[in-house]
Chains A and B, each alone.
Chain A
């Protein structure tokens, strides 16, 4: 049969706008949730993480929100810049393991 590739969700924003990238997770036993950024031709790069007992964590221009009730994770990027254009992956670490389980990714395009 015909193979089907992953169709990444895409988000297109204007430079200077704020971006919100969303992710749903399924495992309540995960104790860390993480966001990675992957630029074209490069390996994924750690952005920020959040422990499962927290709701919000802020970094430089980025904020991660965790809603355990609906198993939802989001990454907010303030004042988005062209250099933020990349694929963003959420990942989770399950308790007692070092194994990261990655989501499918969202492609962010920042228009000048």
Chain B
């Protein structure tokens, strides 16, 4: 079975540009999570969806960040405009059992 799929795996962009990260959850999973991981702050939950509906976006840093889940098999996390401090590894995870989340391989974002 394919696990959680994320694209791109690596993204290098210049400050001010728009960045879109993509995620395909595991088929049949009804919850989807976006995390950010940095050395300074560790692993932080940004937002999560249940049955395609955003449930908790309290971790989204600011209005530059937005996330959508138009259907059960696709989600995006957008940063516009991007800033150097957004550089991090962004993980998508999905679950059907709330304590057991399946993480994707991550997108390493570098904003110069």
Contacts and interface: CB of A to CB of B under 8 A. Distances in A.
Interface of A: 3-6, 32, 34, 41-46, 49, 89, 93, 97-102, 104-105
23 contacts: A3-B40, A5-B40, A6-B39, A6-B42, A32-B98, A34-B99, A34-B100, A41-B105, A42-B106, A43-B91, A43-B105, A44-B43, A44-B103, A45-B103, A49-B100, A97-B56, A98-B31, A98-B55, A99-B56, A100-B33, A100-B45, A102-B43, A105-B42
B101 interface: yes
Q: Classify the secondary structure of A's interface with B.
A: loop
Contact of B104 (A43, A99, A100): A43
B99 A49 contact: yes
Interface residues of B, number: 25
Nearest to A102: B43
Nearest to B89: A43
| Residue of B39, B104, B105 with most partner-chain A CB within 10 A | B39
Contact of A98 (B43, B91, B98): B98
Contacts of B93: 43-44
B40 A93 contact: no
Given A43-B4, A99-B45, 12 more contacts: A5-B39, A5-B40, A6-B39, A6-B41, A43-B91, A44-B43, A49-B99, A98-B31, A98-B95, A100-B45, A100-B99, A100-B101
B40 A6 contact: yes
A6 B39 CA distance: 5
Interface string B42-82: 11010010100001100000000000000000000000000
Contacts of A97: 56, 98
A110 B8 CA distance: 32
Contacts of B50: 98
